[in-house]
Structure 1
Amino acid sequence: MRVELDKDIEARVNRLAQSRNQSVSEVVTRAVEQYLERADQRRATLGDVMAAWEAYQADGLHVDEGAADAWLSALERGDMPDLPPARN
């Protein structure tokens, strides 16, 4: 595979590789791996969001803002509260 990089990006990759005592190929491979991992995570999150939206449209169940905020505040304090009840 051949990839053409802008001169500025190529210089940055070369400097990073040199500073880490790695080859340019190692730096670019790791960058592409990280990019693909983030893309996969975004795709999975979007799938979860769409499934939640479809479930809400089907049954209307939700947690109101006050209950969600109280639950999140308890988690921040280190408590392990039960999930707030879902309502229609």
Structure 2
Amino acid sequence: MANTPQSKKRARQNEARYQINKARRSRIRTYLRRVEEAIASGDKDAAATALREAQPELMRGVTKGVYHQNTASRKMSRLSNRVKALG
């Protein structure tokens, strides 16, 4: 367990960041799940709309340090290809 005041503070900060990042990850996954569900239903318009809503959330996750840039780009690329294929 943390003993010095500095390490105690770092432990508190780490827990706070963990909770914030967990909430962000959950929110992003919700948006991605909406796209997946729209794709599964075969509704191209709904899938395209869900994808447009998911993109800023995913990229915000990158700027906040929750996801790596390449990971987010890969996810967006694969989802957009699947939405295009619905046509």
Which range, TM-score by smaller chain?
A: 0.3 to 0.5
Give the TM-score normalised by structure 1: 0.43
Q: Identify, as 1 or 2, the structure richer in helix.
A: 2
Give the TM-score normalised by structure 2: 0.43
Does 1 or 2 have the higher relative contact order (CA < 8 Å, sep 6+)?
A: 2
